[in-house]
Amino acid sequence: MRVKQTSNGGSPLLYVRSSVLKQAVLEVNSTQGVYRAYIYAGGKLLAERTPDGNLYWLHTNHLGNSSRMTDQNGTMVYRGEFDPYGNLVYEWGLAGLNTRKFTGYERDSNTGLDYANARMYGAGRGRFIQP
């Protein structure tokens, strides 16, 4: 279970998890407080609130890929397409906004790996890199 991430000497990002959902519901850092809040329904991630207070809706396909995001007004702000292994083949809009990528896993911007709850998935390899 991922609880903390630190990169390049920046302030650590802490993940607050729900014991009921078994998912991260908040990301918190020491400089901004609540960095990102996640909203779930039926165990599925529906939306996220960013530090600027904006609410963004995630639209997923049958695999759980977060391939579209819209803002509070319904305007598309992100679109991404993935190959069958999770490699990003097309991206448009606010790319840094959507951290949930292939099958809804969080993609680490530093490593390009997907955090799949207990192990890391490498789309470039098409496999998990941890047992």
Lowest mean pLDDT among 20-24, 48-52, 96-100: 20-24
pTM of the model: 0.73
Phi, psi of 97 (to 5 degrees): -70, -40
User: Looking at the predicted structure, is the pLDDT value of residue 5 above 70?
Assistant: no
Residue 25 lies in a domain: yes
Is 55 contained in some domain? yes
Mind giving me the DSSP string for 11-76? Answer: --EEEEEETTTTEEEEEEETTTEEEEEEEEETTEEEEEE-TTS-EEEEEE-TT--EEEEE-TTS-E
**Is-contact 80 91, C-beta < 8 A?**
yes
Of residues 28 and 95, which shows the higher confidence score? Answer: 95
Furthest CA-CA distance within the chain: 42
Residue 61 pLDDT more than 80? Answer: yes
Domain span including residue 66: 11-102
pLDDT on residue 117: 76
Is residue 116 assigned to a domain? Answer: no
Would residue 53 count as lying in a domain?
A: yes
Looking at the structure of the chain, the number of domains it has is: 1
Q: Mean pLDDT lowest for which of 4-8, 68-72, 121-125?
A: 4-8
Q: Is 81 inside a domain boundary?
A: yes
| Distance, CA of 51 to CA of 102 (rounded, Å) | 23
- Residue 1: which H helix or E strand, with range? none
Residue-wise pLDDT for 62-112, tens only, equals 888 889 999 999 999 999 999 999 999 999 998 888 888 888 888 887 788
